[in-house]
Amino acid sequence: MTVDMSQELLSPLVQQAMQFAAIKHNGQKRKHANKKIPFIVHPACVGVALARAGYRDEIIAAGILHDVVEDCGVTVEELAKMFTPRVARLVGWVSEMRKDIPWEERKRAYRDKLKSAPVEALAIAAADHIHNLESLIVAYNDNHSVLKMFKSGMDLRIEHEKACEKIFVKRLKSPLCKEFSITLKKTAKLLAGK
């Protein structure tokens, strides 16, 4: 097999997004009962999923940056100055701006936002949800006590994911939709036996 190495592996924009996200998420960990998984694994996997699905660099960069507003105190305005206005807008679409309200209300507001979001933002959200569900499956298979780390019950979480699935299926024409549906079914089936 011959690989064309004449093109850069990562564009400067994607490299900059990865470096910025790694610095901002430094010290943060993913939810796992036995392992200390650096948080940056998640945005990196979201970026990889978007690249595999054929999205362009600005969408991939926004996918990598999707949690910096929500979890790191970065503003959408800062992202617009550092990256591009489009990257910043996309991150804004997929960010939950208020963590001080109850989980169910926050997730309802997030879904309402997705209903009018640009399709590129939906792709980022779908990739985010896919990786979160895949991570939950792996963590649960390692140690069932991981479920105690989540503030919401798993029934509510699966209900939220199913509501997101309806939005993705209705509006997003992407291989990410099918992958999300498959991953959600696997997760729901696994947790049904909890």
Contact, 91 vs 137, CB < 8 A? no
Mapped onto helix, strand or coil, the DSSP state of residue 29 is strand
* pLDDT above 70: residue 95: yes
Compute the average pLDDT of residues 24-35: 86
| Residue 144's pLDDT band (cuts 50, 70, 90) | low
User: What pLDDT is stored for residue 147 in this prediction?
Assistant: 67
* pTM, rounded to two decimals: 0.92
Share of the chain above pLDDT 70, in %: 90
Burial 66-95 (b: 16+ CB within 10 A, else e): bbbbebbebebeebbeebbeebbbbbbbbb
Select from 60, 84, 66 the least CA-distant residue to 8: 60
Select from 186, 118, 180, 110 the least CA-distant residue to 152: 110
User: What pLDDT is stored for residue 194 in this prediction?
Assistant: 54
- Maximum average pLDDT range among 58-72, 133-147, 148-162: 58-72
* pLDDT above 80: residue 68: yes
Q: Which of 4, 8, 71, 100 is catalytic?
A: 71
Tell me what the pLDDT averaged over the chain comes to: 90
User: What pLDDT is stored for residue 122 in this prediction?
Assistant: 98
Higher pLDDT, 49 or 4: 49
> What is the C-alpha separation between 116 and 50, in angstroms, rounded?
20
Give alpha helix (H) positions in 53-174: 57-65, 68-72, 76-82, 85-94, 103-115, 119-142, 154-171
Q: Which of 70, 78, 96, 134 is catalytic?
A: 70
Instruction: Name the class of domain 12-192.
Output: mainly alpha
User: What pLDDT is stored for residue 17 in this prediction?
Assistant: 98
State yes or no: is 8 an active-site residue: no
* pLDDT above 90: residue 19: yes
Higher pLDDT, 191 or 109: 109
Min mean pLDDT across 50-54, 73-77, 149-153 is at: 149-153
Contact, 121 vs 114, CB < 8 A? yes
Q: Is the torsion defined by CA of 85, 89, 91, 96 positive or negative?
A: positive
Residue spans of the domains in the chain: they are 12-192
State yes or no: is 77 an active-site residue: no
* pLDDT above 80: residue 3: no
